[in-house]
Amino acid sequence: MKGDAGLDAELARIGQRIRRWRQQSRLTLQELASRSGLATSTVHKVESAQMIPSVAVILKLARGLGRRPGDLVHDESSSLDVLHLHASERHPVGIEGQMVVERLSGDLPEPALETWRVTVHPGAGSGGDTIRYDGEELVVMEEGEVVFRVGDEDYRLEAGDSFHFKANRPHGWRNVSKSRARFIVTGTLARAFRAVMQGRVAGLSR
């Protein structure tokens, strides 16, 4: 059993991890608190290792960051090269009736890609601002229809279609149909793509 010094070190690691992921997602303390359903002071205390977070707090922070709860507390030095991710470990985030995303990929050391499932309701989309970064994206439509805009061109995707493009061109998507649409999107430059997806969700509440 860990002594106080060991516990303090573990709390510090958890807090640093949460702060790093929050900053990578370009979220303020207040924004993460709002997304997690917590007080801003609670998030600050966890990040600065001033409190021992309860299981409920860990669960809420994980959802707010689009992470699995285990990501917040596992020892990063013991990362594995193989991850089996159970469906029950995924925690969709977003706004019901607009857009909901869930991260499908895990945290391998130095990951080369990142995969998310996106559910978009009629009239909803990725937001008014297009995004670009130096990578690639591959989209596989599972159901419904979505219009992707890449540069100045629109592409209508239907269930079963795939779509592969360079992400350094401005891009975004919108469901222009009357029914729900769902697709899986994989991006290279994993950390950059993760920040893009988390930013899309954060933009829904602004």
Report which of 135, 95, 137 is spatially closest to residue 119, judged by C-alpha positions: 95
Q: What is the DSSP letter of 88?
A: G
Where in the sequence of the chain do the CATH 1.10.260.40 domains occur? 4-76
Task: Say whether pLDDT at 202 is over 80.
Answer: no
Q: CA 9 to CA 52: how far, in whole Å?
A: 12
Better-predicted residue by pLDDT, 88 or 50: 50
Q: Where are the alpha helices (DSSP H) in the chain?
A: 4-24, 29-36, 40-47, 55-65, 69-73, 190-204
**96 pLDDT band (50/70/90 cuts)?**
confident
Task: Say whether pLDDT at 2 is over 50.
Answer: no
Each residue's pLDDT tens digit, 141-200: 999 999 999 999 999 999 999 999 999 999 999 999 999 999 999 999 877 787 778 777
Half-sphere exposure of 97 (CA within 13 A, CB side): 1
Where in the sequence of the chain do the CATH 2.60.120.10 domains occur? 80-204
Q: CA 94 to CA 120: how far, in whole Å?
A: 10
Which range has highest mean pLDDT (2-16, 57-71, 93-107, 176-190)? 176-190
Q: Which residue has 């969700």 as its token pair? A: 201
- Looking at the domain covering 4-76, what would its CATH class be? mainly alpha
44 SS3 class: helix
Task: Say whether pLDDT at 94 is over 70.
Answer: yes
- Look up the pTM and report it: 0.62
184 SS3 class: strand
Sign of CA dihedral 117, 123, 129, 135: positive
Q: Are 136 and 187 in contact (CB under 8 A)?
A: yes
Each residue's pLDDT tens digit, 98-124: 999 998 988 777 788 899 999 999 999
Q: Which CATH superfamily is domain 80-204 in?
A: Jelly Rolls (2.60.120.10)
Q: CA 14 to CA 191: how far, in whole Å?
A: 19
